[in-house]
Amino acid sequence: MYENIKFEVNEGIGTVTINRPKAMNALNMDVLTELYDVFTKIESDDEVKAVILTGEGKAFVAGADIAQMHKLNPIGGRQMMMLGHKVMNLIENIEKPVIAAVNGFALGGGCELAMACDIRIASEKAKFGQPEVGLGIIPGFGGTQRLARLVGKGMAKYLIMTAEMIGADEAYRIGLCEKVAAPEELLSVAEKVARTIASKAPIAIATAKTAINNGFDMDMKSASKFEIETFTAAFSSEDKTEGMGAFLEKRAPEFKNR
Ligand code: HXC
């Protein structure tokens, strides 16, 4: 059992809730270790078709744990950063869709965690930001890279250098979240999106994620070639026969689990 997170599965949708509200769900080594563990299990759990990641209370995640980091020497800080990267990379690369339901503060490592997810849905109360430079450090869970890739280099530099906190509407405007929902509707909106994705062919969803993630950092020629190979994998799946057959027979498709 976990001490800092909750995990439940409801009809194919897994929900991971970071549950350290007294510390605004700050990511210490224990939380990061539990997140790594739960997403490793989710990866091989055929029951889970899509995942929602959210936070308990006022915050999504208010960053890496400052009290813990304050005590760490540079080697300890590096270890924490490496563990953080492992968690973010796992979430980003897991062959299942992961939706961040950003309920409140998503600061520092919290904003980085949201950015490692495939899709971000923000509550109208959410606040995003990278306040690290005010603490004498820089984003260290991939934020300097993922933020620039999501919102562009100039806006990433603006947010990281000013440490400005922005609301959900501004985050939506710059492409840091894909949807904004009323606070009381956040989880149901996230679940609706998760169920929509989960109703599609799982291999096609996994393949699309791989193609977008990997192709994004390639040159166009290599990325197009990569799309051809990943497309071929999807085209060879039983789900392709089922999906197209169902369309032609005017019925709903019944896709395989994986
Ligand atoms: C540890 C934290 C915390 C954090 C909040 N708390 N954020 N503890 N690490 N990141 C704790 C507070 O110390 C306090 O504990 C309790 O949570 C409630 O917080 P308050 O500040 O009293 O609440 P509020 O006034 O509502 O302000 C909320 C807030 C503020 C705006 C989110 O807490 C804040 O600015 N937090 C820090 C945000 C931040 O700088 N994040 C980036 C961290 S660096 P007590 O015991 O007093 O009740 C980072 C680097 C990643 O993420 C890469 C590392 C390798």
Q: What is the DSSP string of 62-109?
A: --B-HHHHHH--HHHHHHHHHHHHHHHHHHHHSSS-EEEEE-SEEETH
Dist. CA 23 → ligand 1 center (Å): 7
26: nearest Cα among 83, 76, 66, 70: 66
The reply to whether the predicted model has a pTM over 0.95 is yes
Give the integer Cα–Cα distance in Å for 193 and 105: 22
Choose, from 11, 43, 47, 112, the residue flagged as catalytic. Answer: 112
Identity (one letter) of the amino acid at 205?
I
249: number of Cβ within 10 Å: 9
Distance from residue 2's CA to the centre of ligand 1 (Å): 22
**Element spanning 245, H or E:** helix 238-248
Catalytic residue among 34, 132, 191, 227: 132
For ligand 1, atom 17: residue with the closest CA = 23
Identify whether 112 is a catalytic site residue.
yes
113 lines ligand 1 (CB under 6 A): no
Instruction: Tell the residue nearest (CA) to atom 15 of ligand 1.
Output: 23
**For each of the chain's 258 residues, which pLDDT tens digit applies?**
899 999 999 999 999 999 999 999 999 999 999 999 999 999 999 999 999 999 999 999 999 999 999 999 999 999 999 999 999 999 999 999 999 999 999 999 999 999 999 999 999 999 999 999 999 999 999 999 999 999 999 999 999 999 999 999 999 999 999 999 999 999 999 999 999 999 999 999 999 999 999 999 999 999 999 999 999 999 999 999 999 999 999 999 999 865
d(CA 104, ligand 1 centre) in Å: 12
**144-166 pLDDT per residue, tens:** 999 999 999 999 999 999 999 99
- Ligand 1: does its nearest atom lie under 6 Å from the Cβ of 65? yes
